[in-house]
Structure 1
Amino acid sequence: MLNVSSHGDWPAGYLINPCAPSLSGQWHEAFEGMPTAIVSDSLGRNAGGLGLKPYHGLRHLCGTALTVRVRPGDNLMVLKAIQMARPGDVLVIDGSADLSRAVIGGIMRAMAIKAGIAGVVINGAIRDREEWLDGELPVYALGYVHRGPSTDGGGEINVPLVCAGMLVNPGDLIVGDADGVVAVSAEELPKIHARCAELLDREAAILKAVASGDLDPTRFDELLRSKGCPI
């Protein structure tokens, strides 16, 4: 971990901040397996990445955000971020949605697994797609391509960024599943977890009513009437 006294200590185009406190333990366990749809609903249905696809199968993702902003098609700062990462961290990489070059592939995947990284989320492309399919390391990206990256730098580590339309701050909790990826700020975790539990209980009750045939048949008619529809 590097200690940074000011932005001005770094040459133009480079910045490496210390990692935010890890959320490993309580919150990783609390949100492990939590559907992103439930988390998204708890955040007002207006949060999370758009266009991110899982390339690892169906394994759930949950971990602490370590953010990386790179120049399109370059991965020098991603390599440095892997060195800095702690077990349970998720690399969230803003590659400017560039799909002409991958910023991470099989070798870096092996490095990330060795470091105990929980997953990778990329506003950009991966390569060596077949290696990711074993599911050992969750990865979400906008696409894949055979063209490899440069390692010329610059970039920034542990800064706020936007990844596929999703605002991510260092230290956010990142949750991913087959539907996509959502970020939750550390300060909101108690409130959002409580809301998720309420929604899960509500969904379970609705599904039970559907299965038993007890779902109120007038429910949607009443909703339409409340909107002025003459049902």
Structure 2
Amino acid sequence: MPSTGLIITDIARVDTEVVDALGVHGVATVHEALGRTGVVGPGIRPIQTGARVAGSAVTVLNWPGDNLMIHAAIEQCQTGDILVVTTTSPCTDGLFGDLFATALQARGARGIVTTSGIRDTADLRAMGFPAWSGAVHAQGSVKATAGSVNVPIVVDGVNVEPGDVVVADDDGVVIVPRRRAADVLVAADARVAKEAADRTAYAAGTELSLDRKGLRPLLAELGVVYLTQQEYLGAR
């Protein structure tokens, strides 16, 4: 089987209800629910503020400076998908712009995550098409080399399989493995409920996080001591 030159057409996806619920929780909560894994490196940043989306990954492997396989990938996108793009070696060229976004919006896709560059950013923001990228760069591209669509890729240190759940917001991007999505949602729901109770206690001023989380014994175990300022100055 060749490592490139593949377009997989029938990927499995997570139920829309699970994807949408993970999207409501957002990147930080889902990352914690996933056991503090899955979060894409900080080099992938949003071009907008205030967007929060989730969708099923349609993955694209391009050659650097070449966006041929993005053209091919659009045909494979369905309602609720997010295009996830990388290149075979580092590339910051603007492989994606407003024409691609127009085609993807027409197919119901929810956004793009790419390790390469984005251009036409003002147009994308005006369109309401959210994007997370490794660069903003007007450099154009060619269409000359076969890559692949819907194969496993790596995005800034995180493995992405086609059909995995992508959650993206102002904090970045997190990838939830497709087979774990339902369990991660349960964990995220539980975390949100716990944080709501914490928030209520902190807002009321009735408890400190040191006590609510049982951290005072840990401070003592680590040898942390409390001193008055006079005691501290006298010990110097």
TM-score, reference length from structure 1: 0.89
- 1:29 alignment partner in structure 2: 20
Distance 1:221 1:40 in 2: 26
Instruction: Tell me which amino acid in the other structure corresponds to 1:110.
Output: T
Is 1:224 matched with 2:216?
A: no
How far apart, CA to CA, are the structure 2 residues paired with 1:70 and 1:110?
Answer: 20
1:119 counterpart (111, 130, 136)? 111
Q: Which residue matches 2:176?
A: 184
- Percent of matched pairs sharing the same residue: 28
Residue aligning to 1:212: 204
Kept in 2: contact 1:19–1:171 (CA 8 A): no
Within-5 A mapping of 1:37-52 = 37-50=28-41, 51-52=43-44
Confirm or deny that 1:61 pairs with 2:53.
yes
User: What is the RMSD computed on CA atoms of the aligned residues?
Assistant: 1.8
Point out the structure with max Rg over C-alpha. Answer: 2
For 2:221, the aligned partner's letter is: S
> Which residues in structure 2 correspond to 1:131-210 (within 5 Å)?
131-134=123-126, 136-210=128-202
- SS of match in other structure, 1:98: coil
Residue of 95, 98, 105 corresponding to 2:91: 98
1:226 Cα offset (Å): 3.1
Once the two structures are superposed, residues 68-96 of structure 1 have per-residue CA deviations (whole angstroms, 9 ceiling, x without a partner) of 11111211001100012111111100124
Aligned residues of 2:16 and 2:80 also touching (Cα < 8 A): no
Q: Deviations over 1:130-189 (max 9, x none)?
A: 111226212110111111111112211111110111211011011111101111112111
SS in 1 for 2:123: helix
Instruction: Provide closer, same or farther for how the CA distance between residues 186 and 46 of structure 1 changes in structure 2, counting only shifts above 3 A.
Output: closer
Corresponding letter in the other structure for 2:29: I
Change over 3 Å in CA distance of 1:132–1:97 after alignment to 2: farther
In structure 1, the residue corresponding to 2:102 is in which secondary structure? helix
Question: Does the Cα contact within 8 Å between 1:121 and 1:141 map onto a contact in 2?
Answer: yes
5+ long unaligned stretches in structure 2: 227-236
Q: 2:224 is paired with a residue of what secondary structure?
A: coil
Length, aligned pairs only? 221
Q: TM-score, normalised by structure 2?
A: 0.87
Shift of the alpha carbon at 1:223?
A: 2.3
Deviating more after overlay: 140-149 vs 209-218? 209-218
1:24·1:64 contact (CA, 8 Å) conserved in 2? no
Secondary structure at the aligned position of 2:91 is classed as strand
Pair 1:86 & 2:78 matched: yes
Give the partner amino acid of 1:132.
L
2:20 aligned with 1:20: no
